[in-house]
A = this chain, B = another copy of it.
Amino acid sequence: MSTAEETAGGEAQPWGEVTPDAARRLLLAAVEAFAERGYHATTTRDIAGRAGMSPAALYIHYKTKEELLHRISRIGHEKAVDILRTAARAEGTPAERLADAVSSFVRWHAGGRTTARVVQYELDSLGPGARAEILALRRQVDAEVRGIIEEGVRSGDFDVPDVRGTTLAVLSLCIDVARWFNVDGPRTPEEVGELYADLVLRMVGARGTGAA
């Protein structure tokens, strides 16, 4: 709520639940570093330095460097599922709910690009156990979007020959925003969210909304 919960990039995040304070600062520093240089190119000394602490301090709160990535990834994926679930369970036509889901999901990827980058692109750096846990959350993400599209097809609002493939494409489009979005670029997260909601409605052949 307050600006104290935002990073320099202006991203409000649900890191408030992470305690104690030093652990949260380390997690935030790790998100920044992983997003900038990638997990493997980031050193524990760099993370600790960004958090204003000595290299050894990291190991008081986290067992390994990988635990940091795991924690970040799980919190991020839970947030993603939450965003999509909220949109999917809302009232309104399938088209309205799909547009809402896409625009808020895109806003999250663009506005919280730092976090989203780590969440979406550093999955392979996790060990087998942690990766399996995250993949389960990803299946939930897929299921929420597919649910909206299936409902639109049943009600006749959408025209989609390949539901699974189209779901994949819609999610892919949203996720890739984290790769190319630039905070200093010409578009705001809100503008990209609107544009993408429009494009997705076209992809599912929605009648009478957005697409002329």
Contacts and interface: CB of A to CB of B under 8 A. Distances in A.
A162 interface: yes
Interface bin, chain A? 20 to 34
A205 B187 CA distance: 22
A89 to B, nearest CB: 26
Nearest to A173: B173
Contacts of A212: 159, 205
A177 interface: yes
A199 interface: yes
B173 A169 contact: yes
B199 A38 contact: no
A212 B160 CA distance: 10
Given A38-B124, A162-B195, A199-B203, 9 more contacts: A37-B124, A40-B41, A121-B121, A159-B211, A169-B173, A172-B173, A172-B179, A173-B173, A175-B176
Nearest to A186: B164
Contacts of A172: 173, 176-177, 179-180
Nearest to A168: B180
